[in-house]
Structure 1
Amino acid sequence: MVDSLLYLDACAAAPPHPLVLAAMAEHHADCWANPSSLHSAGLMAADLLERSRLELAALVGLKKGEVIFTSGGTEANNLALFGVCRRLTPGRLLLSPLEHQSVKAPAAQLRLEGWQIELLPVDQQGLVKLEELEKLLEPPTRLLSLVWGSAEVGTLQPMAAVAALCKAKGVLLHSDAVQVAGEVLVDLEAIPVDLLSVSAHKFQGPRGVGALLLADGIELQPQIRGGAQEGGHRSGTEPVILAAGMVKALELRQTCQPHPAEQLAQLRDRLMEQLLALIGVRLSGPSNPKQRLPHHLSLLLSSPEGVPLSGRSMVRAMARGGVACSSGSACSSGKELANSNLLALGLSDAEAASGLRFSFGPWLEPSDLDEIPALFERCLAELSLEKLQ
């Protein structure tokens, strides 16, 4: 944590947990070697890597299948789409308009390779319309990639129902669960997703590591070739210490759910009630808290006259007051553009540039948020005044 900064941007990255850092430091003493080496140092690293693999599978209910360690969620998403589609005869790939760019960009490339790409219809809260999805799962659909929890608007998709439809139609299902893992209970035995992407730094693990989890029988074409590590799926010397840190971080979160989720939702709901009482503030994404990520609050801003205000300008104003928040995905926040996720909900360009996101973590105490409403109101008034000038 940065001294004097109130950090409310967990969807971008979460501060590493002290117990994770301590575990990684301990492993560094003995398991620093290349896990492919056959001497004792290499065997110790290999043992830790495989224990981490088994523990990660157990934490998310993957009874049969594979865990592929990657450099993060972006690589996991790329490997899922390219790995599946480049093994198959081109057909139809379905995705939602709420996907991260690490899903949208591979889909755009696959279009050039002969795949038909189609966006699923969503309602004004970002939820997939299940009746229309069922129709779209007919041939030539081969794969559906659906983000489980939206980083931008917080929407939690009904993945159990989606998975059941995909199984019935024989369509493979990939889900970007980067924002969900560690925040709500993920159980692949109960919700049989075929390919699942996770990233450690979202749940207080180390940066630079993630994983793609594969159900039993799923085959991939490798996208990084060389040493045939990770069961031949992903070449490159494995990040043994990072993988162990990721598993430790997920264990700290996953094994005590749903209590952390409930506590964060209480923080979120209290602040949401206070901010929505202000003139010029309204909610984006689901109004039903059970359909929203528990640590996520997304708002739309306008002046008292109803003129949309810049979400990026509000982020800068809040930062000057010592509060870190966001106006959208950290991977695209450097661009002064309308948020594509908000556009998908039917908002205008101006409204879609007015989004603001707070995302919370277990390092917060309820009292930490006491000063937020007053600061928020001052910043909102300043931006409204600037808009008039």
Structure 2
Amino acid sequence: MAAVMKGVRVLEVAEQTFVPAASALLSDLGAEVIKIEHVERGDAMRGLATTGTAIVPENVHVLLEHSNRGKRSLGLDIASPEGIEILYKLAATSDVFITNKLPRVRKKLKIDLEDIRAHNPDIIYVRGTGQGERGPDADKGSYDGLAFWARAGVALGIMQPEYGHVPFPPGPGFGDSIGAMTIAGGTAMALFHRERTGEATVVDVSLMSSAMWAMGQAIGLSVTLGQGWAPPPSDAPRRNPLVGNYLTKDGRWLALTCLQAGRYWLPFCECVGRPDLATDPRFADFESLMAHSAEATEALRELFAQRTVDEWRAALADFIGQWAVVQDTLEAANDPQSVANGYLQPCETADGFPFSLVASPVQFDEEPAAPGRAPEFNEHGDEILAGLGLDIEEILDLKVRGVVA
């Protein structure tokens, strides 16, 4: 794979998932990422033991690995005068400074734009926030379950009226990981712009902006029509019987999205062994099929309930229309398409324990990026400090005084 970010040094002052996952993507693609961690506890993610219904395994902290792959770690007290000077020296040698600290915290720690640019005027300064850099809530913290999921219309966008509750995000770091892709892309754009013009820019991405982009078509319709977006009720009449989800004999679901019903109805009926449905006067042409869509939908419900999901996989294997089995995350990991394209990549912890990570969604030269493991806390501290010209006595003195881990 072409390591398209090779030669780029990223200095990260961030924790949890949103911003760290962005620099993890850059690391996958060749960038050197120096992760600055709290001098005593490290990234707060290191202490996360459970998420949703899952317990984080003791032998591999997959959540930490996802967002910190391939980085170098330095435990540093940037609230101390000596610590902040070390950070400034690292910034002077970096192409990108990336942080998720709130405006008031950046100011207190002296890592705001002006502080970092004073030591490197050419650095790309990247800020990842909850709700954006401006506005009444700019200085309020958030999580993807709030700014991305709840606030931007995503949760209500999938909530069926019969639920009776607001659904949780589908997985840990869902909005964080989507936002991270946006940050990584924006950072690459800023580096390209600097390469072409010599101008260093500031990159701002928020969880809320990422979610609103993801919901962009729905929000556009909402603003135009003057009403909030909501999904149709599960029992709403279907205009097109070849668009929707159908329950199989073994309690699984098939999803059909054949938007051109007139084109796909005949080949569908032939594939499922029901050519009589194609010649039925109620469904024999497009206009009739649309006029009798409720009856066609009911016929398909009865049809799909007669076979298991594996039987339907075989029956629909040569169907030219668009369909998929509704899968869980383990099935997605083992999906033949996932395997063939390398969407999951092998990795191992510092102790040699094997595990897998989802690869960067961007591939170059038809080869998936192989992720490195996340660093142990302060694993590269001495090496990074030595790279700044500090000798062993100076490093030991900093350790004794608690400036570095």
TM-score by shorter chain over 0.5 = no
Q: Which range, TM-score by smaller chain?
A: under 0.3
Question: What TM-score do you get using the length of structure 1 for normalisation?
Answer: 0.23
Question: What TM-score do you get using the length of structure 2 for normalisation?
Answer: 0.23
